[in-house]
């Protein structure tokens, strides 16, 4: 563990600087014991330090030193969360950004990770998985009535909307899968 004891032992620093360094060390110690091997985002750590009544300057320094030491890695945490939301659990970028932001992950890390994702490809993957289950449910029937087909496609449309995909992205996904959906809007 990196310590600031070398700063505390030097004679050329004023008492204010030594007190500041002691606060930083106390903040690091408090957070490291709170982490106990678990990964937390910089936002959650800042909130915890705020609850423990540390000043903003100390909070920023503690987060900076913990990031340098590898205890905090918002980008790695965001990537781990994104791995969970693929395939049938895929979400649009803006919904994923809200989820990650709610976890206290820094905006720079969120934007960096989401830049690698394509909403259209995620929507197509999700649409195809739903179409496969739709086709499997109707295998025993010879013909699908137009009303049942429309009802199933609207259900898939609502599901994609609930996952945060925009109308334009959903219509592009339907087009790429050679589907046509009529909405009475």
Per-position DSSP letters for 88-155, written without gaps between them: GG---HHHHHHHHHHTT--HHHHHHHHTT--HHHHHHHHHHHHHHHHHHHTTTSS---HHHHHHHHHH
| Backbone conformation region of residue 115, classed left if phi is above 0, alpha if psi is from -120 to 50, else beta | alpha
Q: In this structure, what DSSP letter does residue 166 have? A: -
Percent of the chain with pLDDT over 70: 81
Mean pLDDT of the region 136-152: 68
Predicted TM-score (pTM) of the model is 0.68
- Name the residue with higher pLDDT: 163 or 1: 163
Report how far residue 137's alpha carbon sits from residue 172's, in angstroms, rounded to the nearest whole number.
Answer: 25
Task: Report whether pLDDT(185) > 70.
Answer: no
Q: Counting beta carbons within 10 angstroms of the beta carbon of residue 127, is it exposed (0 to 12), middle (13 to 18) or buried (19 or more)?
A: buried
Measure the CA–CA gap between 173 and 179, rounded to whole angstroms.
9
44-72 average pLDDT score? 87
Q: What is the pLDDT of residue 54?
A: 86
Task: Give pLDDT, residue 136.
Answer: 63
How many whole angstroms separate alpha carbon 175 and alpha carbon 165?
A: 15
pLDDT for 28: 73
Rounded to 5 degrees, what are φ and ψ at 140? Answer: -75, -15
- Could you tell me the pLDDT band of residue 152, with boundaries at 50, 70 and 90? confident
């Amino acid at each position: 563990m990196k310590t600031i004891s070398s700063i505390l032992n030097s004679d050329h620093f004023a008492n204010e600087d030594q007190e500041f360094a002691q606060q930083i060390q106390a903040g690091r110690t408090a957070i490291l014991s709170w982490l106990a091997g678990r990964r937390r985002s910089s936002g959650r750590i800042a909130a915890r330090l705020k609850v423990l009544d540390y000043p903003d300057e100390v909070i920023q320094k503690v987060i900076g030193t913990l990031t340098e030491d590898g205890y905090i890695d918002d980008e790695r945490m965001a990537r781990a969360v994104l791995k969970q939301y693929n395939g049938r659990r895929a979400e649009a970028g803006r919904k994923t950004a809200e989820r990650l932001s709610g976890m206290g992950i820094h905006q720079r890390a969120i934007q960096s990770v989401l830049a690698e994702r394509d909403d259209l490809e995620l929507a197509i993957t999700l649409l195809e998985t739903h179409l496969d289950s739709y086709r499997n449910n109707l295998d025993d029937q010879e013909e699908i009535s137009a009303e049942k087909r429309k009802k199933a496609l609207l259900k898939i449309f609502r599901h994609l909307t609930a996952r945060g995909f925009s109308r334009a992205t959903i219509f592009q996904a339907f087009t790429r899968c050679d589907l046509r959906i009529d909405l009475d809007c």
